[in-house]
Amino acid sequence: QVQLVESGGGLVQAGGSLRLSCAASGRTFSTYAMGWFRQTPGKERECVAAISSYDSSTYYADSVKGRFTISRDNAKNTMSLQMNSLKPEDTAIYYCAADRRWRPRVTPNAASYDDWGPGTQVTVSS
């Protein structure tokens, strides 16, 4: 198990930016693929972005491609999501997640992720 805690959420105006951070306590953080997911009431949890463990290859949802950037710092056991050009539809609780299993491609499937942070609220006003 890896413990994950998100930070950096808040209220921003449309067009603004936020940077989310995820701090991990696992000793083998560098071996985990990591993902950012978001969820709003009544909707399925959606993968926003993910990053692999071995080569930092990435996945982005079409809805955020070109606006969000995922990164990781294995030396610090952290992962970040830089969110630019935010839209009201980006409003959600954002979760950090860890996938302990090696996969040939980073996956956006929430069921593939083993550990989750408690989430951080992002609200984008119009």
User: Residue 20 has what pLDDT?
Assistant: 98
d(CA 54, CA 88): 34
Q: What is the pLDDT of residues 105-125, one digit of tens each?
A: 999 999 999 999 999 999 999
d(CA 104, CA 95): 23
Query: Shortest CA distance to 64 belongs to which of 9, 18, 21?
Result: 18
Give 52 or 56, the one with higher predicted confidence: 52
**Alpha-carbon torsion angle 105, 110, 116, 118, nearest 10:** 140
Q: What is the pLDDT of residues 24-52, one digit of tens each?
A: 997 889 999 999 999 998 899 999 999 99
Quote the percentage of the chain above a pLDDT of 90.
Answer: 87
User: Residue 75 has what pLDDT?
Assistant: 92
